[in-house]
Amino acid sequence: MSIQLPKGFTWGTATASYQIEGAVNEDGRGTSIWDTYSHTPGLVLNGDNGDVACDHYHRWEEDLDHLARLGVQAYRFSVAWPRIQPLGAGAVNQPGIDFYDRLVDGLLDRGIRPICTLYHWDLPQPLEDAGGWQNRETAYRLAEYAQIIAAALGDRIDTYTTLNEPWCSAFLGYASGAHAPGLTEALAALKAAHHLNLAHGLAVQAIRAKVPNTKASITLNLHKVRPASLAPEDLDAVRQIEAVGNEIFLRPLLEGCYPSDLIADVADITDFSFVQDGDLAEIKQPLDCLGINYYSSSVARRRPNDSTSTATGGHGGGSPWVGADNVEFLDPTGPLTDMGWNIDPQGFTELLVGVSKRYPDLELVVTENGSAFPDTLEADGSVHDPKRVAYLEWHAEALAEAIRLGAKITGYYAWSLLDNFEWSWGYARRFGLIHVDYGNGQARHWKDSAYRYQKLIAETSAS
């Protein structure tokens, strides 16, 4: 495989606090909605939780050494809000700040640029008790927390990302119930989406007020959906999914409006009166780059009248596809990952090129891409993961193809540095380049895919 990338292209890996840190009761950390959710019997596979996870809180130096050995230029991590403000508001917990302070300095000492996500789903539980993302006030709390982090970490951070995948926070958290806090209410999810958008806009302003020259961003998991046929009703099914899956974020963030077709699709649920005067101006802040996470694609169609399909494109009790009850997803085809997701590098290229065509001045960064497969740790410490290696190579080629076709992409972050807590799938799904031996003190072992990524970075980063 030989790929061409622009000079200065950034290779990195990504992780998230609750998925790797553990140490949930240490140094004054408060409780998050994922502590509550994962400790509720029956919600997470095998009863797993993030109490220990990869024990990154104690092993962070070793993990940074792995990053250095991989040769990445940047590392995308998230800050656990409950470590910084255990109650989600007011008093700051200095030991929490100190942890990220050390982490950031540790990255810089190794020549790795820190990319900091403020919110990767671990909302302080007291904020959820007050309504969580359904409550407009939570947006203001995120801005306050953003200001604290910006003041503490300042210009040592290369890029601040306000939110990771707000679609998941809103629609898996409040509509399908597959994620914390586990609600299944369509209106709650729509309110949450708006308040997340507002939180982003307020947080960007708070960050820039403290660190004027830093880069500000947000990461979206944009859905690549194809129609089952060219029939108008199937094309409309795709439009519906894109409206509530993508446009509900892209349009307010980048164009300062909610799309009229989305408003019509959900008219039975809400009149959008939760959007207050001035909100859209707060939300539409100039972005230095847009993060895009991509794993797979799907095929949608108008649900036939006699359909008995329960395929909703999500998991959990309800459907995340608010306002799209008349849409169904076809079962994925071809080789699937351990998540049951298809493998569609061409969809990756198309998605990136499509967004770049719409927003030609906007820099794009692939903030997550990767695959889960079952792994075997051999007696000699090796892990042979040819499927993950192939997934990585295909998507690196697809990325290069998108750039060749004109997409303005400046970085790629492999998900994930380590095997970790895969939310409602617990530890039963492994996305890491590096194997974590949970039964054996969380020992780290490089998989073949880690060696492959190291080689790819070395080959494409040579000056």
CA angle 415, 419, 425 (to 5 degrees): 95
User: In this complex, which beta carbon is closest to ligand IFM, that of residue 258 or of residue 431?
Assistant: 431
> What SS3 class is residue 383?
strand
Tokens of 281: 């101006």
Q: Which residue is nearest to ligand IFM (CB)?
A: 16
Of the residues 422, 430, 445, 452, which one makes contact with ligand IFM according to CB under 6 A: 422
The residues that bridge with 299 in the sheet, in sequence order, are 226
d(CA 360, CA 357): 5
User: In this complex, which beta carbon is closest to ligand IFM, that of residue 161 or of residue 214?
Assistant: 161
Q: 21, 247, 350, 368: which one is catalytic?
A: 368
The answer to whether residue 368 forms part of the interface with ligand IFM (CB under 6 A) is yes
- CA 39, distance to chain mean position in Å, is 22
The answer to whether residue 16 forms part of the interface with ligand IFM (CB under 6 A) is yes
> What φ, ψ does residue 35 adopt, rounded to 5°?
-65, -45
- Token pair 């019997």 is found at 41
The answer to whether residue 415 forms part of the interface with ligand IFM (CB under 6 A) is yes
Residue 240's H or E segment, with its range, is: helix 232-242
The residues that bridge with 218 in the sheet, in sequence order, are 290
Among this protein's residues, is 368 annotated catalytic?
yes
Q: What is the DSSP letter of 54?
A: T
Site for ligand IFM in 277-336 (CB under 6 A): 293
User: In this complex, which beta carbon is closest to ligand IFM, that of residue 293 or of residue 449?
Assistant: 293
The answer to whether residue 419 forms part of the interface with ligand IFM (CB under 6 A) is no
Residues binding ligand IFM: number (CB under 6 A): 8
- Token pair 């799209």 is found at 324
Please provide the size of the chain in residues: 463
User: In this complex, which beta carbon is closest to ligand IFM, that of residue 142 or of residue 275?
Assistant: 142
User: In this complex, which beta carbon is closest to ligand IFM, that of residue 258 or of residue 413?
Assistant: 413
CB of 392 to ligand IFM, least distance (A): 15
User: In this complex, which beta carbon is closest to ligand IFM, that of residue 295 or of residue 329?
Assistant: 295
Site for ligand IFM in 152-191 (CB under 6 A): 165
The two beta strands, 10-14 and 409-415, are parallel
Residue 275's H or E segment, with its range, is: none
> What SS3 class is residue 218?
strand
> What SS3 class is residue 148?
helix
Q: What is the DSSP letter of 291?
A: E
First to last CA, the chain: 19
d(CA 127, CA 88): 6
CB of 391 to ligand IFM, least distance (A): 13
User: In this complex, which beta carbon is closest to ligand IFM, that of residue 152 or of residue 351?
Assistant: 351
Contacts of residue 125, Cβ cutoff 8 Å, sequence gap at least 6? 30, 31, 32, 33, 35, 36, 82, 88
User: In this complex, which beta carbon is closest to ligand IFM, that of residue 259 or of residue 332?
Assistant: 332
Q: 165, 242, 282, 328: which one is catalytic?
A: 165
Tokens of 343: 């493998």
The answer to whether residue 21 forms part of the interface with ligand IFM (CB under 6 A) is no
CB of 347 to ligand IFM, least distance (A): 16
**Nearest to 109, CA basis, from 65, 76, 152:** 65
d(CA 220, CA 245): 10
Binding-site ranges for ligand IFM (CB under 6 A): 16, 19, 165, 293, 368, 415, 422, 431
Looking at the annotation, which residues are catalytic?
165, 368
